[in-house]
Copies of this chain bind each other. A is one copy, B any other.
């Protein structure tokens, strides 16, 4: 079925309601004096807990950080989205796909999708089949998986180590 959909395949109604409430509420923490475009984000963790984020802008526009990335950085700091048991050698991949069941995003307009930079940031921490729920101001939403929003992604497995690349580079 083509994205976006108007229903979630992975969330039950109470989970969706929780994500909506927190995504919309998170907009209140937005620091967006330049665009006035408030964005709230919320991560639903497998244990039912929530981590929120909001966009934080800067006088130098490129220095600001979107809501989705703020939510994920918080979750990483709180130990909720990184594989703790991974061997150090595996850490590069071990962090993937752990601890994010779904990600909600809410705006003051009819709805918006994560920008490409956020899709890329999310890629490192959320499974490709994880759902992203995009809420409008009225709570209406659309749903797409990360794979649908970032197909053919450039992920950790696309990038050999700096040392491996140096060998390859020298052979060119």
Contacts and interface: CB of A to CB of B under 8 A. Distances in A.
Interface string A89-113: 0011001000000000000110011
Given A34-B92, A59-B115, A144-B151, 10 more contacts: A27-B172, A29-B76, A34-B35, A60-B118, A62-B115, A62-B117, A113-B153, A113-B158, A116-B150, A117-B120
Interface string A25-39: 001010101111110
Counting contact residues on chain A (CB < 8 A from B), the size range is 35 or more
A1 interface: no
Contact of A165 (B29, B108, B168): B108
Interface in A6-64: 27, 29, 31, 33-38, 52-54, 56-64
